[in-house]
Homo-oligomer: A and B are copies of this chain.
Amino acid sequence: MSTVTPEPTPGGLRPLNPDEEAVARCLNRMIYALPRAIDADMVREQGLPLVEYLALMNLSEAPGRQLRMNELATACEMSLSGMSRVVQKLERQGFIQRVRCEEDARGWNALLTDAGLARLRQAWPAHLAAVRRHFFDHLVGLDMKKLAAAMQQIAT
């Protein structure tokens, strides 16, 4: 942006200071590189894409091991239609079962099967390793408490 920065800042937008600037540059790269790297590791080592892993994970933590499609989609940061397709795929593999929602017959619950839980347990170390390798291992010297607070905000 150096060829652009000299422009007068429009709209009263405070420009980034040098440190923020450096962070922003990395952010641009990280935004694309990180999800791909973690997903690629999961696929290579476990044949389980990251979205599918996250779906299983979220279900495993839900009461009764089940969630409405809606909630699952939100938890996985996905559109409802996208999640619908992911669940179809996981159902075909036997990791999820779809059951009608009792309180509202329009709704469906995605229910984690025993096979799905087993799959999650099998895949979990690979995910942990990938997240360590691509993320935590580089965070030396950072205050984890503050970082956790900041990231909680970002993810909202």
- Chain A residues with a Cβ under 8 A of chain B: 1-4, 7, 9-11, 13, 15-17, 19-20, 22-24, 26-36, 38, 50, 54, 57, 60-61, 65, 76-78, 117, 120-121, 124-125, 128-129, 131, 134-136, 138-155
Q: Is A154 within 8 A of B138, CB to CB?
A: yes
Kindly identify which residue among B16, B29, B78, B150 contacts A77, using a CB–CB cutoff of 8 Å.
B29
In angstroms, Cα B36 to Cα A142, docked, is 26
Q: How many copies does the complex hold?
A: 2
Q: Is A138 within 8 A of B153, CB to CB?
A: yes
Q: Is A54 within 8 A of B30, CB to CB?
A: no
Specify the main secondary structure of chain A where it touches its partner: helix
Q: Which residues of the partner chain B approach A77 to less than 8 Å between Cβ atoms?
A: 29, 32-33, 36
Give the top 10 A-B pairs by smallest Cβ distance, nearest first. Answer: A138-B153, A26-B151, A19-B144, A32-B77, A29-B155, A22-B148, A31-B35, A26-B155, A138-B154, A33-B77
A148 to chain B, nearest CB (A): 4
